Each structure stands twice: as structure tokens, then as C-alpha cells.
Amino acid sequence: MRRDFNVLAMLKGTERYVYVYDDDSRDHLVNVFRDHAADPHLSLSWLDVRILSRKAREQAKAAAGEPPAESRI
């Protein structure tokens, strides 16, 4: 059985945030983002969490064959 993984990465200064997860772990991933943003020793911000969460949703839609959402920026 083949198992696919998703990768999200964010570079902030000298810190590197790289998240490797499968589709079943997507909900847990958002909790990890939140934990990292709440950690005062890390530079991940709540805005970063929002961006990473949006990217994770876009990856899920792409995997399901849905078109990407239009950017509001």
C-alpha cells in the first residue's frame, strides 16, 4: 500500500519549520502549529499559523482534485 505525505515549510530568520504529515494527520497538524506559535522560544507567529493552515487546506483541496481558492491579497 502506497502512503502519500505532504510537506509544508516556512523559513523565519535562522529558524526552519518543516512539517511532514499525511492526510489523516491534518487536524493534528493545526494543533502543532498552534503549540509552536504559543511557544515563547520560537518565532512562529499567529499570522504564520494562519498562513500554514491555509496552505494545508489548499493541499487537501488539491489532493481531492478541487480547484484552489482565489487569493484575496
Say which amino acid occupies 5.
F
The C-alpha cell of 65 is what? 482534485
Q: Enter the pTM of the model.
A: 0.79
Cα gap 57→69, rounded to integer Å? 10
Report pLDDT for 64. Answer: 80
Q: Which pLDDT does position 3 carry in this prediction?
A: 77
In tens digits, what is the pLDDT along the chain, a chain of 73 residues? Answer: 677 899 999 998 889 999 999 988 988 999 999 999 999 999 999 999 999 999 999 988 888 886 656 655 5
Q: What is the pLDDT of residue 36?
A: 95
